Amino acid sequence: MNPEVTLRPFDLADLDDFYAWASDDLVSVWCCFDTYTNKEDLLNFMKRFVLPHPWMRAICYYGRPVGAIVVTPHRGEAQCRGELGYMLATQYWGKGIVTKAVQLVLRTVFEDLKDIERIEALVNLENVRSQRVLEKSGFTKDGVLRKYLIHKGKVKDIVLYSFISTDPLE
Ligand SMILES: CC(C)(COP(=O)(O)OP(=O)(O)OC[C@H]1O[C@@H](n2cnc3c(N)ncnc32)[C@H](O)[C@@H]1OP(=O)(O)O)[C@@H](O)C(=O)NCCC(=O)NCCS
């Protein structure tokens, strides 16, 4: 595992670094949030959602936050699974950073979130970069969920990927 990529919890002092990717249309177009246009809104989001989240981490590249990765546990009869999400500042794309971050997640998350046996990721069919990250990380492509959800006003086909706690790590 390359030591230049590390994960750690967020802190409000990460606001400026977080703004770098949260304010970028090239990132937000694939995510469920709208592009942030001011830091105050982002600060509120960090206080309300990021800091209290049960498993959200900063992706650090040589110690500096350059992205975020999150596993959201489901509840009730779905509490055996968690949903993976991630994003990276555009200037760092293509260096294998998120693939390494996903591999770090898989090494720790099943210990941290005891109820979870399956991590799943729902990826827009057009988001080939993200699909490649999951394939390189040992996820299984479970299939395509046709017309599955509405993303930014359009109904989308979604590729469903999963990783089970007993699957081999890359
Ligand atoms: C998706 C994202 C997280 C990938 O992060 P990354 O660190 O650049 O990913 P990696 O470098 O680990 O791997 C990217 C892979 O996609 C490939 N790739 C890049 N552009 C591609 C394209 N247009 N078509 C096909 N493959 C492409 C790269 O070649 C690489 O694969 P390889 O190692 O086999 O060459 C990043 O682009 C991002 O933040 N996107 C916006 C947010 C997002 O999409 N989040 C996920 C929502 S499900």
For the chain, domains (ranges, CATH) are 5-164 (3.40.630.30)
Token pair of 103, please? 């591999």
Residue 118 bridge partners (DSSP): 81, 164
Q: From the CA of 133, how far away is ligand 1's center (Å)?
A: 6
Q: Which amino acid is at 72?
A: T
Output the ligand 1 site: residues, CB below 6 A: 27, 30-31, 86-88, 93-99, 123, 127-130, 132-133, 136
Query: What integer pLDDT is reported at residue 170 of this predicted model?
Result: 87
Atom of ligand 1 nearest to the CA of 89: 39
42-50 long-range CB contacts below 8 Å, 24 or more apart? 42/15, 42/18, 43/12, 43/15, 46/10, 46/12, 46/14, 46/15, 46/18, 47/12, 50/10, 50/18
Residue nearest to atom 35 of ligand 1 (CA): 94
Mean pLDDT, consecutive 10-residue segments, the chain of 170 residues? 86 98 98 96 98 98 98 97 98 97 97 97 98 98 98 97 96
